[in-house]
Amino acid sequence: MSEQDAYIKYIQDFFGKWVAVYDLFAASIFYAYSHAVKVVDPQPGMNILDICTGTGEIAVRCAKAGATVTGIDITEAMLARAQKKAAGLPATFLTMDARNLEFSNAAFDAAIISFGLHDMPRKVRLAVLTEASRVAKR
């Protein structure tokens, strides 16, 4: 197994085990989510990418503000929870590696990453930030 495949498997296994209680833990940091959403300032007509969306908390907040949101994550269990939370909102969730985003340059008005970066090795973090910069207009 390659180093990249091993990293993805580790993340999927780790967060897959925590999906049932993740939002309870994350509630202690929801204030930071509010700040992140405020910085992006989602508006109707905006197209926002939520990288490492997890259970979709930021995606849901942006969609409720009227933006169209695409949330990506590599943990399918987290994405399943995100889809339930975002039912009826303009949000789509995709399984995708943030190091290799399958979108064209400047495809989104903004990209947001909540708490995914701190778990990543430096090399992975740089790749994710490079991709976020590539696909976002800001």
Domain CATH code at residue 95: 3.40.50.150
Domain holding 110, by residue range, is 3-135
47-59 per-position pLDDT tens digit? 999 999 989 999 9
As a whole-number percent, the residues of the chain with pLDDT over 70 amount to: 86
Helix (H) / strand (E) containing 61: helix 57-64
Q: How far apart are CA 75 and CA 94, in angstroms?
A: 10
Q: How far apart are CA 31 and CA 21, in angstroms?
A: 18
User: pLDDT averaged over the chain?
Assistant: 88
**Residue with the larger pLDDT of the pair 3 and 132:** 132
**Short-list 63, 110, 112, CA closest to 83:** 63
pLDDT for 105: 98
Residue 46 DSSP code: -
| Number of domains present in the structure of the chain | 1
Instruction: Give yes or no for residue 9 having a pLDDT over 70.
Output: yes
pLDDT for 104: 98
Average pLDDT over residues 30-53: 89
Report the predicted TM-score, pTM, of the whole model to 2 decimal places.
Answer: 0.82
83-109 per-position pLDDT tens digit? 999 999 999 999 999 999 999 999 999
pLDDT for 76: 92
